[in-house]
């Protein structure tokens, strides 16, 4: 089943996702790095050995920094890995390279999220949920804007654009976030986290055609976005299933896609198909928890 | 102050600690990677740019694996970074390379530690502390021993030897742990975690000379170990202060060494000197928490 794939295309994707895993891990975007690694492992098997991971020049320039800044980056990254976010941010305080700036602001964002969680009451109190704010967000927005004023728009760092979008959404400025997020995915389409944030900007199905007109046409990541966003908007249409089938042809073992299909079946009230797909995922990767909360709903209705 | 340092020696150390940061991060040994990065940042400033991080061939062979195993490693590493330890271990279940085996067993060890913490009662109950065991440990010991039976002793992986030592200590076999841990630090001296575990095997000061006879003589990491172990055994002797001074000459801004000096002063009842050193550390890196519990003791006695 499935149309014949060009082995060269598969090899290019293999390299793209391996590079993404590296770039995202370097920036402590762990969830997005995990998604890339899962996509990589979802591609068809290949007899040919993978080439060494070579980062293309235009992405390599995002890693440019002085030797002393590189040493500070290494310490800050290690602190972040040890969950010492404030310490990581302070180590990078005076750094100017965009990679260090990203990690500095991202560490402060995570630290702000942790403090917000601590400050918010358990449930249903006056400080529950959205009432408690991440106090770092407004400062991060200001500093990223200041940073962007110092560089030419042509050399915008897609990871900084992504983080700017995250902060704007957190600050309830979803409309303002749309522009930096679309720019981020156009410059570098392989950061899944940026697509997920872009998905948050799509409130209803009427907005989808405009959003799709703003992203790289025909790119495999655009198709992933189309399927995932349509699924979240309960669009179990033939066209969505067709795009999903194309992707499943490229990534025959990518469990994320299996789950998208399971959810689309669920929305289409095809509960037995949905349960079978979820069951397959559980057998393949029993400790995979992402998106599995829906499985209990499916089991409930099929009982 | 301090004798003149050979700039070539400093450059070699810079490269050694940068490589260590990479090898340790790759294996999710975050605390040890952080210590290496702090040591790297503690070396004197250098006008010359750092060379690219080049991993020596004998260490590169520790990273050897097939393409498909490398892809599984990338996914497992990402899962570990997302704290999905059981999932990481399962992804690597059938891998045979020593790097993948390390990450598989280390993930299972950490998962076992988490479950042990959950099982143990809060405090002072019958299941408190050591009464609850990490159920993975005995399995990991068996599997590592089985793995070692399949490879020539000459190609033992120092990270696996380290993990074997950790598991043996956890299993209350401190004496058995001594041999693999000394072997680990002799093969690869730049994993600080291995030295820390070796330090646990030294119960009293009488054992120290024998231990020191088993490690690489004159190596900078052996000196670090000598100072740290002596300090933990309350040996504020002239000879220890002399070794510490040598290290401070090589690493003028390494806060870990400042703390060793502060602790040695504390043991020697020189509380004011100790307080001044701790105060310096707090000003330099206010969010650094490691070893800072002693500072409150010092402040208490100097009040």
| pLDDT, tens digit (0-9, with 9 covering 90-100), for A128-165 | 556 688 899 999 999 999 999 988 777 799 999 999 99
CB-based contact A74 B21, cutoff 8 Å? yes
CB A131 within 8 A of CB A124: no
Asked whether residue A5 is assigned to any structural domain, the reply reads no
- Contact B82/A at CB under 8 A: yes
Shared-domain flag, residues B188 and B61: yes
Taking CA–CA distances from A38, the nearest residue in chain B reads: B75
**pLDDT (tens digit per residue) in A235-253:** 999 999 999 999 999 999 9
Domain that holds residue B1: 1-197
* B273 and B211 inside one domain: yes
Check residue A69 and give left, alpha or beta (phi > 0: left; psi -120 to 50: alpha).
alpha
Q: Which of residues 163-222 of A touch B (CB under 8 A)?
A: none
Asked whether the beta carbons of residue A90 and residue B41 sit closer than 8 angstroms, the reply is no
Any domain includes A119 = no
Distance in angstroms (rounded) separating the CA atoms of residues A3 and A47: 19
Supply the pLDDT for residue B291: 81
Cβ neighbours of A86 in B, within 8 Å: 287
Q: Are residues B10 and B153 in the same domain?
A: yes
- CA-angle at A253, arms to A249 and A258, nearest 5°: 85
| pLDDT for the residue numbered B197 | 97
In chain B, the residue whose alpha carbon lies closest to the alpha carbon of A83 is B30
Final residue in a domain of this structure, among B166, B197, B228 = B197
Which tokens sit at A171? Answer: 């600050």
Interface test with A, best of B10, B34, B68 (most A CBs within 10 A): B34
CA distances (Å), A171 to each of A65, A164, A174, A176, A201, in order? Answer: 30, 10, 8, 10, 13
pLDDT > 70? residue A8: yes
Looking at the structure, do residues B124 and B186 belong to the same domain, yes or no?
A: yes
The answer to whether position A268 is within a domain reads: yes
Does residue A300 lie within any of the structural domains?
yes
Q: Is residue A281 part of a domain?
A: yes
User: Are both B168 and B71 inside the same structural domain?
Assistant: yes
Q: Cα distance from A42 to chain B (closest Cα, Å)? A: 10
Q: Select the residue from A15, A30, A111, A291 to test the B interface by mutation, using most B Cβ atoms within 10 A.
A: A30
Rounded distance, CA A97 to CA A150, Å? 12
Same domain, B23 and B130: yes
User: Does residue A184 belong to any structural domain of this protein?
Assistant: no
Total residue length of chain A: 303
A296 pLDDT band (50/70/90 cuts)? confident
Q: What percent of chain A has pLDDT over 90?
A: 78
ipTM of this predicted structure: 0.93
Work out how many domains chain A is built from and give that number.
1
Which one has a higher pLDDT value, A90 or A7? A90
Predicted confidence band at A168 (pLDDT cuts at 50, 70, 90)?
very high
Residues B146, B207 within the same domain: no
| B54-109 pLDDT tens trace | 899 989 989 999 999 999 999 999 999 999 999 999 999 999 999 999 999 999 99
Q: Is the minimum CB–CB distance between B34 and chain A shorter than 8 Å?
A: yes
CA distance B213 to A224: 60
Q: Which pLDDT does position B1 carry in this prediction?
A: 46
Instruction: State how far the Cα of B135 lies from the Cα of B116, in Å rounded to an integer.
Output: 8
Element (H, E) at A256: helix A255-267
What does pLDDT average to over chain B?
92
pLDDT (0 to 100) of residue B49: 81
In terms of phi and psi (left: phi > 0; alpha: psi -120 to 50; beta: otherwise), the region of B270 is: beta
Residue A21 to residue B74, Cβ atoms within 8 A:
yes
Are A25 and B287 inside 8 Å of each other by CB? no
Residue A158 CA to residue A184 CA, distance in Å, equals: 4
Contact with chain B for residue A47, Cβ under 8 A: no
Q: Please indicate, yes or no, whether residues B214 and B260 belong to a single structural domain of this protein.
A: yes
What CATH number does residue B107 fall under?
A: 1.25.40.10
Cα angle, residue A163 at apex, residues A162 and A164 outer, rounded to 5°: 90
Residues B284 and B180 in one domain: no
Per residue in B185-204, pLDDT (tens digit) is 999 999 999 999 999 999 89
The answer to whether the CB atoms of B31 and A67 lie below 8 A apart is: no
Q: Tokens at residue A34, please?
A: 């995990």
Segment A5-23 shows an average pLDDT of 94
B84-93 contacts, C-beta under 8 A, 24 or more apart: B84/A287, B84/A289, B85/B110, B85/B111, B85/B114, B86/A287, B86/B111, B87/A285, B87/A287, B87/A288, B87/A289, B90/A285, B90/A286, B90/A287, B91/A285
Q: A181-222 pLDDT, tens per residue? A: 999 999 999 999 999 999 999 999 999 999 999 999 999 999
User: Does the beta carbon of A50 lie under 8 angstroms from any beta carbon of chain B?
Assistant: yes
Instruction: Give chain A positions within 8 Å (CB) of B18.
Output: 71, 74
pLDDT at B260 over 90: yes
- Whether residues B93 and B212 share a domain: the answer is no
Shared-domain flag, residues B129 and B243: no
Give domain status of residue A226, yes or no.
Answer: yes
The confidence score (pLDDT) of residue A1 equals: 47
Are both B170 and B250 inside the same structural domain?
no
Q: Using the 3D structure, point to which of B144, B172, B197 is the last residue of a domain.
A: B197
Which spans in chain B are helix H? Answer: 7-26, 30-42, 57-60, 67-81, 85-91, 98-119, 136-150, 158-170, 174-187, 192-200, 208-213, 220-232, 238-250, 255-267, 271-284, 293-302
Q: At which of B171, B197, B223 does a domain end?
A: B197
Q: What is the pLDDT of residues B140-161, one digit of tens each?
A: 999 999 999 988 777 799 999 9
C-alpha distance from residue A222 to each of A85, A231, A259, B43 (Å): 32, 14, 18, 46
**Interface membership of A284 toward B (CB under 8 Å):** no
Query: Could you give the CA distance from residue B219 to residue A165 in angstroms, rounded to a whole number?
Result: 49
DSSP H or E segment with residue A260 = helix A255-267
């Amino acid at each position: 089943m499935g149309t014949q794939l060009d082995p060269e295309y598969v090899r290019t994707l293999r390299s793209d996702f391996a590079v993404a895993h590296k770039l995202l891990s370097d920036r402590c975007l762990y969830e997005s790095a995990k998604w890339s690694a899962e996509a990589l492992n979802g591609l068809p098997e290949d007899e040919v050995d993978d080439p060494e991971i070579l980062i293309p020049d235009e992405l390599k320039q995002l890693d440019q920094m002085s030797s002393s800044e590189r040493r500070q980056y290494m310490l800050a990254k290690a602190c972040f890995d040890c969950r010492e976010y404030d310490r990581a941010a302070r180590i990078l305080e005076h750094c100017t390279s965009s990679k260090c700036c990203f990690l500095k602001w991202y560490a402060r964002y995570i630290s702000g999220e942790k403090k917000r969680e601590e400050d918010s009451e358990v449930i249903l109190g006056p400080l529950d949920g959205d009432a408690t704010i991440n106090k770092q967000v407004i400062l991060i927005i200001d500093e990223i804007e200041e940073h962007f004023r110092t560089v030419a728009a042509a050399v915008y760092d897609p990871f900084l654009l992504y983080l700017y979008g995250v902060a704007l959404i957190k600050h309830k400025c979803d409309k303002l976030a749309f522009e930096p997020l679309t720019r981020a995915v156009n410059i570098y389409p392989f950061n899944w986290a940026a697509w997920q944030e872009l998905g948050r900007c799509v409130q209803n199905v009427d907005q989808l055609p405009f959003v799709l007109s703003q992203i790289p046409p025909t790119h495999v990541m655009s198709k992933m976005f189309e399927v995932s966003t349509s699924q979240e908007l309960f669009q179990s249409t033939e066209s969505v299933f067709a795009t999903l089938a194309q992707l499943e042809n490229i990534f025959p073992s990518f469990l994320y896609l299996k789950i998208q299909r399971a959810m689309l079946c669920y929305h289409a009230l095809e509960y037995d198909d949905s349960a079978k797909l979820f069951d397959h995922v559980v057998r393949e990767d029993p400790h995979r928890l992402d998106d599995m909360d829906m499985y209990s709903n499916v089991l409930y209705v099929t009982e």
